[in-house]
Amino acid sequence: MAGLAFEGPNPDVDVLDGINGLAKDAPHWVNRAMEFVGEYGIVAALGVLCLIAWWAARRRPDGPTAIAGLLWAPLAAGLALLANIPIRGFVERPRPFKDHAGLTVLIPGKSDFSFVSDHATLTMAVGVGLFVAHRRFGLIGIGLALLEGFCRVYMGVHYPTDVIGGFALGTAVALLLAPLAQALLVPMTAAIERSPLAPLVRAGGGAERSRGAEAGPVVPAEPALRVRAERDKDLAA
């Protein structure tokens, strides 16, 4: 398939020219920063966000269930990237700099197909997966994914529709498969809670249970005193 060609005026190319045109007039250090952020920085930031969300979820009353939801975010990203492989091979859309001269390309040498964007797919899948488990962290993740999409167009390596397609793919995988993922992941995290790895899903969970087992059953204070009083009474008699 030739790959999303349009007759006449092309809004996709117009938006690409407008956003990528910002790179033409930007200082060199700004473009280098955008290159790093768009290629590695946002993906790394999402990884850190997932770790922060996991640390916070361990302290929730429903810690194991919450962490099962958080685990789905990176798994959804992986599945979405796998789903993108046949899509890219079917559409076979060249990178924009191969068909449009004059673009400022911050990362030259990319030879794979353009539709849909792997970076947009991955980041939105993580963001939406986080949103399903935790609204606040999810909104931050979705915001980072939107910034990633802007960076990919700014860098001259994707059309806007490549990014929109990636957002749609990541969102669809994260939402449609979430119920099945929860059904599989919740029993797993519940089993972890009952194992020596319990601190992974509940803060202090393993230590608290072990201390409780060593202490033995707790005898209520009032019945214990009553038993002692009756025993002393019998001895006095």
Question: How far is the C-alpha of 186 from the C-alpha of 102, rounded, in Å?
Answer: 52
3-state DSSP assignment of residue 207: helix
Angle between helices 42-57 and 135-154 (to 10 degrees): 180
Question: How far is the C-alpha of 206 from the C-alpha of 105, rounded, in Å?
Answer: 52
CA torsion sign, 195 to 199 to 201 to 204?
A: positive
Question: How far is the C-alpha of 117 from the C-alpha of 163, rounded, in Å?
Answer: 5
CB 80 within 8 A of CB 121: yes
Domain boundaries, the chain: 11-193, 204-236
The backbone torsions φ and ψ at residue 109, rounded to the nearest 5 degrees and listed phi first, read 95, 0
Q: What number does CATH give the domain 11-193? A: 1.20.144
- The 10s digit of each residue's pLDDT in 25-37 is 899 999 999 999 9
Question: How far is the C-alpha of 61 from the C-alpha of 58, rounded, in Å?
Answer: 8
Amino acid at 31: N
Angle between helices 160-176 and 63-91 (to 10 degrees): 140
Predicted confidence at residue 219, as pLDDT, reads 43
Question: How far is the C-alpha of 122 from the C-alpha of 116, rounded, in Å?
Answer: 11
For 232, other C-beta atoms within 10 Å of its C-beta total 10
Q: Which pLDDT tens digits describe the chain residue by residue (237 residues)?
A: 444 444 446 888 899 999 999 998 899 999 999 999 999 999 999 999 999 999 999 988 888 899 999 999 999 999 999 999 999 999 989 999 888 888 888 988 788 899 999 999 999 999 999 999 889 999 999 999 999 999 999 999 999 999 999 999 999 999 999 999 999 999 999 999 999 989 988 887 544 444 444 444 444 445 445 545 555 555 454
CB 201 within 8 A of CB 192: yes
